[in-house]
């Protein structure tokens, strides 16, 4: 169904959305989406940094007879 929407259809949808919600509300919503994406990226970077900085030794707890099966 969505395969048949061309450039004219997309422009029409954009105009309808703009008329329904207004320019101010759409611009505010996009600003909030941008802030959310930025916060998500910052959180991912912080957690990755914490994992790299963590100096935790990993101990293999696999039983000896199970190690050969892999």
Full DSSP string of 11-70 = HHHHHHHHHHH-HHHHHHHHHHHHHHHHHHHHHHHHHHHHHHH----------HHHHTT-
Q: What is the rounded distance in angstroms from the CA atom of residue 3 to the CA atom of residue 37?
A: 28
* pLDDT bucket at 43, cuts 50 / 70 / 90: very high
* Six token digits for residue 20: 């329904």
Q: Taking the model in full, what pTM does it have? A: 0.51
Number of Cα atoms under 13 Å in the Cβ half of residue 51: 7
pLDDT at 67: 72
Give me the mean pLDDT over the 4-22 stretch: 88
Residue 41, pLDDT > 90, answer: yes
- What is the pLDDT confidence band of residue 3, given thresholds at 50, 70 and 90? confident
pLDDT bin (cut points 50, 70, 90) of residue 55 is low
For residue 13, the Cα-to-chain-centroid distance in whole angstroms is: 25
């Amino acid at each position: 169904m969505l395969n048949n929407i061309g450039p004219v259809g997309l422009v029409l949808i954009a105009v309808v959305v703009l008329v329904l919600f207004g320019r101010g509300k759409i611009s505010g919503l996009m600003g909030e989406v941008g802030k959310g994406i930025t916060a998500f990226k910052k959180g991912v970077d912080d957690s990755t940094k914490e994992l790299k900085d963590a100096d935790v030794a990993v101990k293999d707890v696999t039983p000896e007879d199970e190690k050969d099966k892999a």
